[in-house]
Amino acid sequence: MKDSKYIDHTALKPDTTKEQIIKLCREAAEYDFASVCVNGCWLPVVKEELKGTDVKACTVIGFPLGAMSEKAKVFEAADAVNSGADEVDMVINVGMLKDHNDAYVIHEIKAIKEAVGDHVLKVIIETGLLNDEEKARACKDAMAAGADFVKTCTGFGTGSATLEDVRLMKETVGDVMKVKASGGIRDRETFEKMIAAGADRIGTSSGVRLVG
């Protein structure tokens, strides 16, 4: 796979403007990235800008805290797909995971996967808030729920993606799921090391710098 197809070209800051979203999409089309990842309100703009390309439209669910109700997340996921999302990146309920309420975590992920159907579901476990046991358990919960990817971070919490976390996540999910590394990946060396550690996708706002 060529390097550009590892990249989810991302703009998730709350002050992102339409002009910036259009620029993001045009860069993604030019460099042939895997997807453009944006907040849900921008999906119609993204779909229009990416028309005629194979770059996917990706959005986030329950972002960035993951602590809203399951019902709200499921509605948001269904709405995202109806608005044109090809892929969705959801944040788990970190507090429930820490409380060892894995039944809740699995049920929520499964409900969101049912809402998005055949569309790709990536599960953000927010590694900066978890110890290694919790990281592995979160990956197993996502696997049990039928998600497609596990993902390191939102980029809005504590810490960034690390090679150790990517290796741990890949060892846990094996070939059953894919791994997305996101958070703090801004240079070519880190990009290459993340892929070598087992990342199948890289979430970054620095995509042009990484492959340009």
Which pTM value belongs to this model? 0.97
Which pair of tokens denotes residue 1? 């796979």
Check pLDDT > 90 for residue 39: yes
Contacts 24+ apart (CB under 8 A), 129-138: 129/94, 129/157, 129/158, 129/159, 130/94, 130/97, 130/98, 132/168, 134/97, 134/98, 135/165, 135/168, 135/169, 135/172, 136/168, 136/172, 137/97, 137/102, 138/92, 138/97, 138/105
- Are 207 and 23 a contacting pair, CB within 8 Å? no
For residue 91, the cross-strand partners are 124
Domain range list for the chain? 3-211
* Residue 182 binned pLDDT confidence (cut-offs 50, 70, 90): very high
Q: Which residues are known to be catalytic?
A: 89, 151, 180
**Average pLDDT taken over every residue of the chain:** 97
The CATH code that applies to domain 3-211 is: 3.20.20.70
Q: Which one-letter amino acid corresponds to residue 161? A: A
Per-residue model confidence as pLDDT tens digits over 96-136: 999 999 999 999 999 999 999 999 999 999 999 999 999 99
CA atoms within 13 A on the CB side of 151: 28
